[in-house]
Amino acid sequence: MKLETVDIRQAASAADIVYEALRKAIIEGDLAEGENLRQDQIASMFNTSRIPVREALSRLEQHGLITTQRYKGAVVAGLSIEEIVEIFEFRALVEAEVIRLAVPKMDRKTLDTARRHCDEFGREPDSARWGEINRNFHYGLYEAARRPYYLQIVRASLDRIDRYLRAQLTLTDGMTRAHREHLVILDACVAGDAQRAGELTRDHVLGAGRALIAYLEEKRAKDD
């Protein structure tokens, strides 16, 4: 099992540390779909008891990142095509609205930071960093809306599909399309056109969803 671990015997927030390490490993694909998460093994890796591990696993299950199966216990959750379609439809609604609310409140610092993330995304050779930079770009724009609950929902949705998106970006031409669409979204924000920024974001999210679904359908057909 591949995890970034620390000795947390003295940590007051042991469950938080275990949760974040497992969450990161799941969304980045270090823990594969269907992989068993044994409480005793994880507790040993973090040099802690099973109590914070159990709490961390419960939180991961609440966010849909793991499921509990009879005889196997906790395993990394998979997603059906239907679930992915629903997640992207929901993301398109929420993210289009939050950026529409954000545009009038964006200042020069916000736009300059977004430009740096956009440029970094376009030239980054390490595919392992694409997901992180992509989030930084979008979150940096969304935060101007001052809607923390919206961002919480966006984050939870991205966590569910992030590992699939990473694979799609790496193995298809998704990076080129995503970078091009980031640029036009940013241009709309710079122009102060909230309506266009929302429409472009909605199209961007739905387009990414269609590309991901096509990739997964082809991959799963080959695997079968």
Model confidence pLDDT, tens digit, residues 194-219: 999 999 999 999 998 998 888 888 88
The pLDDT, as a whole number, for residue 50 is 93
One-letter amino acid of 196: R
The pLDDT, as a whole number, for residue 12 is 54
User: Tell me, what CATH number does 177's domain have?
Assistant: 1.20.120.530
The pLDDT, as a whole number, for residue 1 is 73
36 forms beta bridges with 75
User: Is residue 183 a contact partner of residue 130, using CB atoms and an 8 Å limit?
Assistant: no
Q: Identify whether residues 100 and 141 lie together within a single domain.
A: yes
Model confidence band, residue 5 (pLDDT cutoffs 50, 70, 90): low
Q: Identify whether residues 170 and 211 lie together within a single domain.
A: yes
Residues 6+ apart with CB under 8 A from 193: 103
The pLDDT, as a whole number, for residue 220 is 80
Helix (H, G, I), strand (E, B) or coil at 106: coil
Residue 28 above 70 pLDDT? yes
Kindly provide the residue ranges of all beta strands, DSSP E only, lying in the chain, ordered along the sequence: 66-69, 73-76
Model confidence band, residue 193 (pLDDT cutoffs 50, 70, 90): very high
Q: Identify whether residues 115 and 35 lie together within a single domain.
A: no
For the entire predicted model, the pTM comes to: 0.80
Please report where in the chains the tokens 């000795």 appear, as a residue.
7
Q: What are phi and psi of 63, to 5 degrees?
A: -90, 5
Q: Identify whether residues 131 and 212 lie together within a single domain.
A: yes
The pLDDT, as a whole number, for residue 3 is 74
Q: Which domain holds residue 200?
A: 81-223
User: Is residue 121 a contact partner of residue 169, using CB atoms and an 8 Å limit?
Assistant: no
Residue 27 above 90 pLDDT? no
Q: Which of 76, 97, 118 is the last residue of a domain?
A: 76
pLDDT digits 0-9 by tens, 53-86: 999 999 999 988 999 988 889 999 988 889 989 9
Q: Identify whether residues 97 and 171 lie together within a single domain.
A: yes
User: Is residue 89 a contact partner of residue 202, using CB atoms and an 8 Å limit?
Assistant: no
Over residues 98-104, the mean pLDDT reads 98
pLDDT digits 0-9 by tens, 113-146: 999 999 999 898 887 788 889 889 999 999 999 9
pLDDT digits 0-9 by tens, 149-191: 999 999 888 888 888 887 777 767 778 889 999 999 999 999 9
- Cα 102 to Cα 62: distance, rounded to the nearest angstrom: 29
| Half-sphere exposure for 181 (CA within 13 Å, toward CB) | 19
Q: Identify whether residues 89 and 67 lie together within a single domain.
A: no
Helix (H, G, I), strand (E, B) or coil at 88: helix
Provide the token pair at 130.
Answer: 């694409």
- Cα 156 to Cα 152: distance, rounded to the nearest angstrom: 6
Distances 220 to 67, 185, 215 between C-alpha atoms, Å? 21, 32, 9
The pLDDT, as a whole number, for residue 72 is 86
User: Tell me, what CATH number does 29's domain have?
Assistant: 1.10.10.10
Q: How many domains does the structure of the chain reveal?
A: 2
Question: Could you tell me if residue 29 is left (phi over 0), alpha (psi between -120 and 50 degrees) or otherwise beta?
Answer: left
Residues 6+ apart with CB under 8 A from 213: 81, 84, 85
User: Is residue 189 a contact partner of residue 197, using CB atoms and an 8 Å limit?
Assistant: yes
- Cα 184 to Cα 1: distance, rounded to the nearest angstrom: 41
Please report where in the chains the tokens 């991901």 appear, as a residue.
212
Model confidence band, residue 8 (pLDDT cutoffs 50, 70, 90): low
